[in-house]
Structure 1
Amino acid sequence: MGLYIRKPYAVIGIFCIGLNTYWSQFQGLREAVMDHYGKIKGLLPEDIHVTDAGLVDNYTAAAEANRTFVEAGVDLIFCYCATYSPSSNVLPVIHGLSAPVIVLNLQPERSVDCSQTNTIGTWLGTLSCAGAPEVTAVLKKKNASYGVVTGAIAGDPHVISELHAWCRSAAVAARLKRGRIGMIGHPFNGMMDLYVDETKIYNQFGIYTEFLELHQIKNAMGEVTGELLEECRQFIKDHFALTVSQNAREFEELCKVTAAMISLIREQDLDAVAFHYAGETQGEYKDIIGPMNIVFSALIALGIPCCVEGDIKTTIAMLITKVLAGCCATAELYSMDLENDTCLIGHSGSSDFALSDEKPVLKESEVFHGKSGKGYLTQFLVKKGPVTLLALSEDGEGKYRLIAAEGESIPGDILMLGDTNARVRFPIPVREFMDRWCMAGPSHHSSMAVGSWVDMIRKTAVVLGLELEVICP
């Protein structure tokens, strides 16, 4: 069967604009435009669904393209400015749609050979930039979310990189629009920065919150199949450094909880999980709570972000970085080292195998600090190199916004308490970073990913229609 892996996908709309009166005036121009258009479609990644509305060169064609995109439920629209076109070939296409529009300001070649371009028709066949400002002007007047990709169709790696990046950002929107978060328990009592209105979350992102109970996990534990259970046993043995003193019963319960969570995720069609339980853990739920950090680490590896303390906003931030970077982990600012201008950043609980080249260290804790119960901690040793923080915040007017920063995980002492944490240096002094980060108003959690992802997050903010504040660089 194979363990559950959720693969994001995006529905990408694409159309080409031109002026219909040109076709009879300049022989071969329409054919040249469509040839260029076909080459652009060939540059798109394979892991998307493309909805092609074709050539739009008049109002009737624009209205038909609109119906095509509405029916397909597109997450993002590419508009190729093949030659000059009036903006009336664009606005009717996107009427009533919330998907962002990416204007493809692409020439067939990197430069125009003026000595060989000796007719207006030939010139129009290599022209693209004249129409782009008109398109962006009307998108601005419409208050639409939009972006621009400028370059050449042939031999331009920047264009390919940009097209793929926009498609990956659209995959974030697709995952959220068609997604479901499983909320098990409730937010940590008193952490008012974490509290959310699930209806507002749905209205902004399209992701639905499904409230679940611990007894559903318990019931699923009694129904897991032998095949799924064996797959979980092997996964845990392969991925964790099982050096803690475990008896056979504890290991079997760990595998059962993992299999039960996978079954529940499949049954509920979940994309992510937020979890916090503050009740009695000495009774029937003890075997569920104790191994949950290991279970959630396994789920994150399988594509299902899991956030502790019932933090739905950070669950969404983790989902964003998991799709963009293939990596996510709950993170908070642990400790400042003012002498060495660094900050320890991490969090207790689950984490992501993609953070580390090593198997995580498991520790048994007699107490989950600030919470009830005891069990396993998973400490992942974060790779050295660039890291990105992403927080989803809510302002005083109830608007959601993204906050991002890039730093570098560097060698140095870290806390060996069983929590994943890294020593991070930012491109600005740590005092200044702390001031800027706090003044931006994030909650005390964020998502951490390895790599530099701020440029991708900028595109994702456009796709999601969110304000983004970049703290650094």
Structure 2
Amino acid sequence: MERNKRPKPRVGYFGSGLAAYWPQFPSLKPAVLAAMERHIAKLREMGCEVVSGGLVDCAERANEVGDLFARERLDLIIGEILTYTASHVLVPIAQRNIAPYLTLALQMVPTVDYERMTTEDMTLIGAAMTAPEVACAFERCALPFHCVVGGDFEERTWTRVKEWIEAAAVKRALMDSRLGYLGHYYPGMLDMYTDFTMHQGQLGTHIEILEMCDLQYRMGLVTEAEIERKLAEIYETFIMPPPGYDRITEKVNPEELRYAAHVACAEDRLVADFALDGLAYYYRGWNNEYERLAASMIVGNSLLTARGIPCAGEADLKTCVAMFILEHFGAGGSFCELYLLDFEGGFVVAGHDGPGHVGIGDKKPILRGMKLFHGKAGRGISVEFNVKNGPVTMLGVTQDRHGKLKLIAAQGESIPGPILEIGNTNTRVRFSMPPGEFGQAWAETGSTHHFALGVGHQLGKIEKLAKLLNLELVVVCR
């Protein structure tokens, strides 16, 4: 299944220098302009749409470029110091813009010939000397300061630049996002309760409040042809083996599968009609149509999540945000909690009942019939799979006693081995610390009991996103 396509990050780029240098050192300005063109090309190779502000070497140019960038609705501004630059030409650009500002100060060569290097040579090589001046100026002007100082020739330098670009794009995506909230929280889970204004205020995220009748109404609009197409998609995506060893599992009932496909089609309409980028949902119901409807959303929500529209169970809005972040980092993000600590095997099992990100598994996911959903009303069909083996990242979104959102992250490795045949997602994850120590450290962060599990090591991007959002980040292990 194809993930939703997203726009390229829009990056404003300019180079800076000191106008007084140009008549003194005739070869300097052409070298600066050549380096700028080379770096713009590199940013485009990273998949960016680049808006160039050209060379800024005086206060008047700074005002012009700042206004240009303000009109262009950028995700990130990169101001590259290519030779010494007086900080007064950089501050106005940051002041005129909402977009985050990244200072780039790169040295062009790994070393120099100390017996032959001239002052003119040094003016191009020594760009990093300006970074502390800019940092101090930004601090005194109450502007956030972010920078990459390193070698132009180092791959890790450009990896850090790319991480900043991706973090800025995710910040923009959060500000543009519409997350649906359907039903109500699972009763009694105090850690998950949150308020919508906080999400709007701290992330820029719009929360669209939905009713079960919004979904039920769209059930009546679904055609038989839509249901048949959805069934074909389900058969192509999943396998349906005999019941597992767990007594509450059973073979998938064809009638319940057709109903789940019907619900999935109604969810597609709901997402389209409300232009949703994610969904947090739960509805208890009791011996009525809403109970059956809510219990039959797992298949459709798993398919939506794999398309890039994260769906979090138990109406956990904060974890929906964590899933959204990892999804936009290209890591997926499956709804999870800590299932168990395997002290003998040295790993943690992460999983959950309900929907999962079936797009990041290492094999076809399983559908199991469920005679009941533990702790919940209803019966139906659930998803079972593990996140593919290799590097993984856990990301939690919680809040402190003052109502401030906080990020919690850990990097580990999904490892091979049998998984629980209980109709739930579950993955073996090994961390750099023993299971008991990891469980202790994660719990002490004040995390909610849910988190998102995504593929790859994403901590470098998450650290930068936390800075852009002005949120605390607690790293449990790398």
Match of 1:358 in 2: 363
Of residues 190, 193, 203, the one that matches 2:191 is 193
1:247-326 to structure 2, matched below 5 A, reads 249-280=255-286, 282-285=287-290, 288-326=293-331
Distance 1:226 1:22, change over 3 A: farther
Are 1:461 and 2:478 an aligned pair?
Answer: no
Q: Could you tell me how far 1:261 is from its partner in structure 2?
A: 1.7
Q: Is the 8 A contact 1:3 1:228 kept in 2?
A: no
Unpaired runs of 5+ in structure 2? 243-250
Distance 1:134 1:227, change over 3 A: farther
Match of 1:158 in 2: 156
Match of 1:345 in 2: 350
Distance 1:371 1:221 in 2: 22
Q: Could you tell me how far 1:301 is from its partner in structure 2?
A: 0.9
Deviations 1:263-309 (A, max 9, x none): 222222211110011123x4333553343111111011101011001
Q: Is the 8 A contact 2:283 2:291 kept in 1?
A: no
Distance 1:134 1:372 in 2: 61
Distance 1:98 1:361, change over 3 A: same
Deviations 1:314-345 (A, max 9, x none): 10011111111431111111122334443222
Deviations 1:172-193 (A, max 9, x none): 1111011110111121111111
Match of 1:423 in 2: 428
Q: Is the 8 A contact 2:337 2:352 kept in 1?
A: yes
1:135-214 to structure 2, matched below 5 A, reads 135-153=134-152, 155-214=153-212
Deviations 1:334-357 (A, max 9, x none): 122334443222111111123311
Q: Is the 8 A contact 1:6 1:302 kept in 2?
A: no
In terms of mean alpha carbon deviation, does 257-266 or 175-184 score higher?
257-266
Q: Is the 8 A contact 1:18 1:56 kept in 2?
A: yes
User: Does the residue aligned with 2:129 lie in a helix, a strand or coil?
Assistant: coil
In terms of mean alpha carbon deviation, does 297-306 or 185-194 score higher?
185-194
The one-letter code matched in structure 1 to 2:421 is M
Distance 2:209 2:57 in 1: 49
Are 1:242 and 2:247 an aligned pair?
Answer: no
Deviations 1:105-135 (A, max 9, x none): 12334444556644x3343233311212211
Over aligned residue pairs, what C-alpha RMSD do you find? 2.4
The one-letter code matched in structure 2 to 1:184 is L
Q: Is the 8 A contact 1:355 1:380 kept in 2?
A: no
Q: Could you tell me how far 1:441 is from its partner in structure 2?
A: 0.5
Distance 2:124 2:341 in 1: 59
Q: Is the 8 A contact 1:8 1:323 kept in 2?
A: no
Match of 2:247 in 1: none
1:385-404 to structure 2, matched below 5 A, reads 385-404=390-409
Unpaired runs of 5+ in structure 1? none
In terms of mean alpha carbon deviation, does 267-276 or 224-233 score higher?
224-233
In terms of mean alpha carbon deviation, does 437-446 or 141-150 score higher?
141-150
Of residues 449, 456, 465, the one that matches 1:444 is 449
Q: Is the 8 A contact 1:9 1:174 kept in 2?
A: no
Q: Could you tell me how far 1:415 is from its partner in structure 2?
A: 2.4
Match of 1:77 in 2: 77
Q: Could you tell me how far 1:387 is from its partner in structure 2?
A: 2.1
Q: Is the 8 A contact 1:325 1:453 kept in 2?
A: no
Distance 2:402 2:141 in 1: 23
The one-letter code matched in structure 1 to 2:268 is I
Distance 2:468 2:319 in 1: 19
Q: Kindly tell me the number of residue pairs found equivalent between the two proteins.
A: 469
User: Does the residue aligned with 2:329 lie in a helix, a strand or coil?
Assistant: helix
1:78-157 to structure 2, matched below 5 A, reads 78-95=78-95, 97-113=97-113, 117-118=117-118, 120-153=119-152, 155-157=153-155
Q: Could you tell me how far 1:159 is from its partner in structure 2?
A: 3.1
Match of 1:12 in 2: 11
In terms of mean alpha carbon deviation, does 14-23 or 441-450 score higher?
14-23
The one-letter code matched in structure 2 to 1:93 is I
Distance 1:263 1:114 in 2: 68
Distance 1:191 1:132, change over 3 A: same
Q: Is the 8 A contact 2:353 2:423 kept in 1?
A: yes
Match of 1:50 in 2: 50
Q: Is the 8 A contact 1:184 1:274 kept in 2?
A: yes
User: Does the residue aligned with 1:322 lie in a helix, a strand or coil?
Assistant: helix
Q: Is the 8 A contact 1:7 1:303 kept in 2?
A: no
Match of 1:220 in 2: 218
User: Does the residue aligned with 1:313 lie in a helix, a strand or coil?
Assistant: helix
Q: Is the 8 A contact 1:170 1:463 kept in 2?
A: yes
User: Does the residue aligned with 2:215 lie in a helix, a strand or coil?
Assistant: helix
Distance 2:3 2:255 in 1: 25
In terms of mean alpha carbon deviation, does 331-340 or 269-278 score higher?
331-340
User: Does the residue aligned with 2:448 lie in a helix, a strand or coil?
Assistant: coil
Distance 2:448 2:156 in 1: 35
The one-letter code matched in structure 2 to 1:431 is G
The one-letter code matched in structure 1 to 2:445 is A
Q: Is the 8 A contact 1:79 1:104 kept in 2?
A: yes
Distance 2:219 2:113 in 1: 69
Distance 1:253 1:4, change over 3 A: farther
In terms of mean alpha carbon deviation, does 72-81 or 84-93 score higher?
72-81
Q: Could you tell me how far 1:381 is from its partner in structure 2?
A: 2.4
With the length of structure 2 as denominator, give the TM-score of the two structures: 0.90
Among all aligned residue pairs of Structure 1 and Structure 2, give the percentage whose two residues are the same amino acid.
34
User: Does the residue aligned with 2:128 lie in a helix, a strand or coil?
Assistant: coil
Distance 2:110 2:224 in 1: 59
